[in-house]
Amino acid sequence: NAGVTQTPKFRILKIGQSMTLQCTQDMNHNYMYWYRQDPGMGLKLIYYSVGAGITDKGEVPNGYNVSRSTTEDFPLRLELAAPSQTSVYFCASSYGQGYNQPQHFGDGTRLSIL
Amino acid sequence: QQPVQSPQAVILREGEDAVINCSSSKALYSVHWYRQKHGEAPVFLMILLKGGEQKGHEKISASFNEKKQQSSLYLTASQLSYSGTYFCGTESSLYQAGTALIFGKGTTLSVSS
């Protein structure tokens, strides 16, 4: 049972480039989340999804886009990379409503934008 | 609306105890606790629900004071494996009710032998 799988694990981008961070889960969870983590700042929610075809903005959505065409996959798109988007990105999923179910995290993608 | 954690950092020797606090400015139905080791993903520890129900997997205890909108995580007889950063997560009115959490900035715990 793989859980939540994120690819790539590391990536260096140039300013203005675009990329997609992949996230897939095999637990049949309806709820999925994208967070970014900067040193000393905790986890900030970028986007979340409550099911296939349904997404909503989190706390820091600017500069990112998401889609959820299947239950398993929840990719995060950076359109025009900026140095401020250098961070560690975590994808997570939960079985049911976020307030009473554990979130399962992927191993993260470490992204540097130079 | 971000919950406030205290202290920011704790340094312990093996066998000592620690308490990590999480306070919110809004009424809470639940509080989550996660631990993250350096360079790794956060790992679920427990959920505390209004009314006293507790869900957890590890030998770490916690309390939830609904009236004070606070939760405390108790680490007793600490082990080296307890080292890491502890995050609490609470619901936020930023999101549809019950859908997502907002996390505190974390408390870093260092346990030495």
Question: How close, in Å, is residue B100 to chain A by CA atoms?
Answer: 5
* B22, B4 Cβ separation under 8 angstroms: yes
Residue numbers of the domain that contains A41:
4-96
Contact assignment for A103 to B44 by CB distance below 8 Å: yes
pLDDT in tens, chain A (114 residues): 689 999 999 999 999 999 999 999 999 999 999 999 998 888 999 999 999 999 999 999 999 999 999 999 999 999 899 999 999 999 999 997 767 789 999 999 999 999
**B31: its two tokens:** 């509080």
In angstroms, the CA B14 to CA B10 distance is 13
In DSSP terms, A21 is beta-bridged to: A76
Q: Compare CB distances from A100 to B30, B96, B105 and report the shortest one's residue.
A: B30
Residue B64 dihedral angles phi and psi, to the nearest 5° = -140, 110
In DSSP terms, A93 is beta-bridged to: A32, A104
pLDDT > 60? residue B90: yes
User: Hey, is B59 helix, strand or coil?
Assistant: coil
Strands A54-57 and A4-7: unpaired
**B77: its two tokens:** 């007889």
Q: Compare CB distances from B96 to A45, A56, A108 and report the shortest one's residue.
A: A56
Domain presence at residue A89? yes
| pLDDT at site B55 | 54
In angstroms, the CA A24 to CA A20 distance is 13
Task: Provide mean pLDDT across the span B34-60.
Answer: 81
Task: Provide mean pLDDT across the span B82-109.
Answer: 85
pLDDT > 80? residue B93: no
Residue numbers of the domain that contains B88:
4-112
Contact status of B84 with chain A (Cβ, < 8 Å)? no
Q: Which residues contact B95 (CB under 8 A, 6 or more apart)?
A: A45, A48, A56, A58, A98
How many CB pairs below 8 A link A and B? 73
Contact assignment for A56 to B91 by CB distance below 8 Å: no
Q: What's the whole-number average pLDDT of chain B?
A: 87
pLDDT > 80? residue B97: no
Domain presence at residue A25? yes
In angstroms, the CA A36 to CA A87 distance is 6
Would you place residue B76 in the very low, low, confident or very high pLDDT band (cuts 50, 70, 90)?
confident
Contact status of B41 with chain A (Cβ, < 8 Å)? yes
Residue A39 identity: P
Cβ–Cβ contacts within 10 Å for residue B43, how many? Answer: 16
User: Hey, is B22 helix, strand or coil?
Assistant: strand
pLDDT > 80? residue B58: no
Q: What is the CATH number of the domain that holds B32?
A: 2.60.40.10
As for how many domains chain B has, the answer is: 1
In angstroms, the CA B100 to CA B35 distance is 18
Task: Provide mean pLDDT across the span B13-20.
Answer: 94
Q: What is the CATH number of the domain that holds A28?
A: 2.60.40.10
Regarding predicted confidence, which is higher, A63 or B51?
A63
In angstroms, the CA B64 to CA A56 distance is 29
Closest by CA to A99, choosing from B92, B105, B68, is: B92
Contact status of B101 with chain A (Cβ, < 8 Å)? yes
Q: Compare CB distances from B98 to A42, A98, A102 and report the shortest one's residue.
A: A98
| pLDDT at site B77 | 87
* B58, B69 Cβ separation under 8 angstroms: no
Cβ–Cβ contacts within 10 Å for residue A70, how many? Answer: 10
Domain presence at residue A75? yes
As for how many domains chain A has, the answer is: 1
pLDDT in tens, A7-32: 999 999 999 999 999 999 999 999 99
